[in-house]
Structure 1
């Protein structure tokens, strides 16, 4: 069982969503069309792959976690999109998989071997293609006043090693020039879309379980205790059981 197996049933519904404006903005910037092929590395439940589906033709998702792929398969069927799914690590993709006009990666780079991934991207990305490193997260500039306390509770209940791994993932995502340094690629442009929505206290509380550092597998018998403390922190910020959240969705475009 992989690190995200116990989060699969929650991930697609509770993580900060990518809005439709985000996919439209990226598709327009890259000139995507039905002639284009897309491969999503570390696809999870297919959030990026299916979000871009209306703008491309061939779509492939890759993930090592069977439970995530099953969630992606259900989501694709419900949305009526053809999605080819491959179980395994991106670094082990067969050489004959071909090239793609766009390679998308969510918060997954820190799980991948850098050298192998750079070599993989060199053969996956079509000559005039692009990589889009994507993320969607709660704004950290004070517009989500509940966020600091929320993360403080998560950190306290998370095993120290897993919390450090989560921090390493954030640092990798923020320092993409270092990741691509010395390769054929370099970051070209950052696209950012801001949206706001209302999320229930219950759903925001349960979102903690979608992160590897505070997943049911990581917390074990402490799940309910952590959820209770998170909910107590959130209630004072809620109105009629709902909390306002500002979300920032980004795509770092990387090209040759």
Structure 2
């Protein structure tokens, strides 16, 4: 199975999008001219493209999963502002090529950089980004980070069913030990600014399960005929942490924005 087989519906419904203040701040890195062009790499179901749609009038979004692209198409196409253009492309970041002469004012890579050949993609983007454009790499903390008691308990249930190592589709997750800022500083976009945007969220059990089924480490297909047993175990575990099925999360987006050196 691929990393996200069977997850697109869950991803669209249960993955949190990016907050409006982050969208506005990212948009300020793009030169203010027309057309204002965005390239969203690893778009998934289009959550970032959707958040930035008010700030750009020419958007290309790519993802290597055709189900993700189809879900993004259905969600975003009816809401495109008049006069704007949205193009959705099924492609890996490494293979993507924009139309001749098309250059992005901003590239966004959200929750996807760890899956990419990072140096190769950043080098490729050098020919796809406008002279004064920028590349933004960002993510909030994964559920797997488990910084709260209830998350840690659910994470242990996942491990009980799927093993101690974090899954990534049919394989295991390969951790990256270098900060993304260091990788970007070795790329054409070597002038890197880093900042955080805090977020707070409120979950219930159904939302937590839906989120888990949107991930590569707990996609529903990984559980086979034990899926019902897994759901029951999660529900039982969460009851120990809330009497009203409410679970609070404090998280943050860590953002790195790279530009080319002007020297």
TM-score, normalised relative to structure 1? 0.86
- Indicate yes or no: 2:48 matched with 1:43: no
Change (3 A) 1:195 1:94: closer
Q: CA shift at 1:138, angstroms?
A: 6.3
Distance, in Å, in 1 between the alignment partners of 2:146 and 2:153 is 14
Q: CA shift at 1:177, angstroms?
A: 3.1
Alpha carbons 1:101, 1:130 under 8 Å: kept: yes
Moved more, 27-36 or 238-247: 27-36
Alpha carbons 2:146, 2:155 under 8 Å: kept: no
Alpha carbons 2:119, 2:183 under 8 Å: kept: no
Distance, in Å, in 1 between the alignment partners of 2:4 and 2:146 is 28
1:166 aligns with one of 162, 173, 184: 173
Change (3 A) 1:204 1:167: farther
Moved more, 123-132 or 109-118: 109-118
TM-score, normalised relative to structure 2? 0.84
The number of equivalent residue pairs is: 252
Distance, in Å, in 1 between the alignment partners of 2:188 and 2:88 is 27
Output one character per residue of 1:217-241: Cα deviation in whole Å (capped at 9) or x when no partner. 3222232222222222222222422
Change (3 A) 1:248 1:167: farther
Q: CA shift at 1:148, angstroms?
A: 1.5
SS of 2:57 mapped into structure 1? coil
Change (3 A) 1:101 1:216: same
Q: Show the counterpart of 2:86.
A: 83
Output one character per residue of 1:94-125: Cα deviation in whole Å (capped at 9) or x when no partner. 36452101011112223222343132111112
- Indicate yes or no: 2:200 matched with 1:196: yes
Distance, in Å, in 1 between the alignment partners of 2:151 and 2:57 is 38
CA RMSD of superposed structures (Å): 2.6
Moved more, 78-87 or 54-63: 78-87
Q: CA shift at 1:149, angstroms?
A: 1.5
1:151 aligns with one of 155, 159, 170: 155
SS of 2:26 mapped into structure 1? helix
Structure showing the higher helix proportion among its residues: 1
Change (3 A) 1:77 1:178: same
Alpha carbons 2:141, 2:253 under 8 Å: kept: yes
Output one character per residue of 1:142-166: Cα deviation in whole Å (capped at 9) or x when no partner. 5x33122122222333364725843
Output one character per residue of 1:19-53: Cα deviation in whole Å (capped at 9) or x when no partner. 22221232235565663200111110001111111
- Indicate yes or no: 2:144 matched with 1:137: no
Q: Show the counterpart of 1:116.
A: 120
Distance, in Å, in 2 between the alignment partners of 1:92 and 1:214 is 28
Output one character per residue of 1:59-99: Cα deviation in whole Å (capped at 9) or x when no partner. 11101111100111111134335421011112112364521
Alpha carbons 1:177, 1:187 under 8 Å: kept: no
Distance, in Å, in 1 between the alignment partners of 2:141 and 2:247 is 15
1:183 aligns with one of 180, 183, 187: 187
Distance, in Å, in 2 between the alignment partners of 1:95 and 1:22 is 26
Q: Unaligned stretches of 5+ in structure 2?
A: none
